[in-house]
Structure 1
């Protein structure tokens, strides 16, 4: 099969690779669309020790089952394969399973390829009217849905009454903003530094779009719920300042691992901080359902490119030349 292979930091090669091994009971899925994630960028830059080269990256996939249970089904793919038997899995928190595997991390090769192997329980069947290009967004949007759900649960009032700030206008942050809107929030600000993304963000929903400088110029404590979809020291500092006394910060982004939080203010103002990692199976199914019935909007803000041109797509993202919140590759 053809695949886009990460061979060294900032090096991707489109070449022939062996097809995936398909364990007994799993499905072979022909990939029709796959998104580029921030974690793929981290690996591409050599910043993820969990993803050593050579490796096929990519985990935001949709396609068609060609072998295994339910051949011919059009599906979107939950890339988290878990044990199903541990305490976390039994509680429905499969994302915290200590045995979890994910596409694009050994031993599972990723979806920047023509085919992947995945357990059948990780597949959500798609209706015919939904395109693969939109269905593959279920994975990144589910991260935002999970963050929204955790944040709403921690608020001291109803989500529709909350003033919300989402930091970052990539697919993760935009997904959080869309999930907030789909669940009743109406006062939603997205903070985005890359002005190339602003037209796509404005077209995606009824959001206020602000620059990071705009948000920092506001009085402290203006937001009930802050979702950081970036995860750098500067964005954590913004979140610490923006959350009101008794407010909530949900941290999704994995930009870096140090500094930024104002622990003194968070303590004195009793601000809740929640880490959010991927999503539960229920979050993934709920997100897919919201895509299928249109609650997350038209989802026409992604840019499509051929998989064979994936290396240039990564270079454009790294160089700040990509205007879309998401680039989707087509094998």
Structure 2
């Protein structure tokens, strides 16, 4: 076998074409990974719709990558934790790595910043072969950060989406015993619930829907769930949400994972005095919100943090989280699709399609590039 199959997005609002590419040689300081699963997320939808300015098409998507090491160069060395790498190891691939040479990299700091990111899953196949998880192989170069795991692939593929809420909670200073409200019960919201539960939150509530996702939210640790589709009146919803908080006085942390503008001022209204609002959901520009600085922030002594990325530390912690989920991780994955159905995977995330695919409500969708149609 000298070629492999890859799904290629031809242009913004274009088609996904399954093409054959030569399997690249593994350099001495690189590693070739045989992809098992690659997740589908809202960022992929925004790329497909042309919402990312100056994005380079054609493109190989797939930045949530789990796979088996096919070949490792003698100079690649170990994973992030210092584990020696060998063929046959299952790894989670961290998709973005800094160059280490530019001014922001040399300056350091807690938040990841680089003028020349190396990214997997946002790659032009004409410039970077095997550059995304929506293909049968991913080629990792010397800058890649990978993590060996003995957990099932269904767990490991969730490490990347779990890293976002883990990083957000860490930036907010989440502590054992804090009360947490999560707005939105998509994959990131559900993993935020799991992270808060594993970290020892005293109370966890969730606003979201539909019913199946709320059931999983309770399974992962949410004591109170509020169905946004059923409780549409803002005042009634506020009363129901606050009723689940300690002494009905609000939450220490509110984690916004819905990506809907109206959730921001509403979320501030659920904070206890001195609480922190964590913004994770707005990865594209979907509009503005009106904030009353006194009512929403100052009168509550509120803080706000956000996270548009994560560090190797939070990624490693996220992997530990999804490893501990055990069988529960499989409940988050609703669809496993072949490369030929990449367009279906993207369309299922459109609100107009009511998050349905093959008559089933969409949870986490993953691409299995070896699955035959």
TM range (shorter): 0.7 to 0.9
| Contact 1:79/1:118, CA 8 A, preserved across alignment | no
Which residue among 256, 263, 277 is the counterpart of 1:235? 263
**Other structure's SS at 1:49 match:** coil
Which residue among 148, 152, 161 is the counterpart of 1:131? 152
Which residue among 113, 126, 137 is the counterpart of 1:96? 113
**Other structure's SS at 2:213 match:** helix
Which residue among 311, 315, 326 is the counterpart of 2:343? 311
Map of 1:329 onto structure 2:
367
Map of 2:291 onto structure 1:
262
The structural deviation recorded for 1:166 is 0.8
Change (3 A) 1:195 1:101: farther
**Other structure's SS at 2:169 match:** helix
Change (3 A) 1:97 1:132: same
Map of 1:122 onto structure 2:
145
The structural deviation recorded for 1:36 is 0.5
Map of 2:7 onto structure 1:
4
The structural deviation recorded for 1:206 is 4.0
Which residue among 67, 73, 86 is the counterpart of 1:63? 67
Map of 1:111 onto structure 2:
133
| Contact 2:193/2:220, CA 8 A, preserved across alignment | no
| Contact 2:155/2:325, CA 8 A, preserved across alignment | no
**Other structure's SS at 1:236 match:** helix
Query: 1:4-23 to 2 correspondence within 5 Å?
Result: 4-19=7-22
Map of 1:156 onto structure 2:
none
| Contact 1:82/1:89, CA 8 A, preserved across alignment | no
- Does 2:312 align with 1:277? no
**Other structure's SS at 1:142 match:** helix
- Does 2:34 align with 1:30? yes
The structural deviation recorded for 1:117 is 1.9
Change (3 A) 1:243 1:138: same
- Does 2:319 align with 1:288? yes
| Contact 1:60/1:140, CA 8 A, preserved across alignment | yes
Change (3 A) 1:71 1:106: same
Which residue among 177, 199, 206 is the counterpart of 1:161? 177
Q: Distance in 2 between matches of 1:102 and 1:250?
A: 25
Task: Normalising by structure 1, report the TM-score.
Answer: 0.86
| Contact 2:355/2:362, CA 8 A, preserved across alignment | no
Which residue among 89, 96, 113 is the counterpart of 1:80? 96
- Does 2:150 align with 1:150? no
User: Larger deviation: 2-11 or 280-289?
Assistant: 2-11
The structural deviation recorded for 1:98 is 3.2
| Contact 1:7/1:13, CA 8 A, preserved across alignment | yes
Q: Distance in 1 between matches of 2:22 and 2:219?
A: 39
Map of 2:253 onto structure 1:
225
Q: Distance in 1 between matches of 2:223 and 2:42?
A: 23
The structural deviation recorded for 1:316 is 2.0
Q: Aligned residues, how many? A: 323
Q: Distance in 2 between matches of 1:9 and 1:111?
A: 19
**Other structure's SS at 2:176 match:** helix
**Other structure's SS at 1:317 match:** coil
| Contact 2:51/2:284, CA 8 A, preserved across alignment | no
* Structure 2 unaligned spans of 5+: 74-85, 243-247
Change (3 A) 1:188 1:123: same
Change (3 A) 1:77 1:50: farther
Q: Show CA shifts across 1:205-260 (max 9, x none).
A: 44422134464345696221011113331111222222223210111112436422
The structural deviation recorded for 1:113 is 0.8
The structural deviation recorded for 1:84 is 3.1
Highest CA radius of gyration, 1 or 2? 2
Q: Distance in 2 between matches of 1:89 and 1:146?
A: 21
* Superposed CA RMSD: 2.7
The structural deviation recorded for 1:193 is 4.2
Change (3 A) 1:73 1:317: same
Q: Show CA shifts across 1:135-178 (max 9, x none).
A: 1110001111111111235xxxxx33322111111111111111
Map of 2:83 onto structure 1:
none
Q: Distance in 2 between matches of 1:229 and 1:92?
A: 25
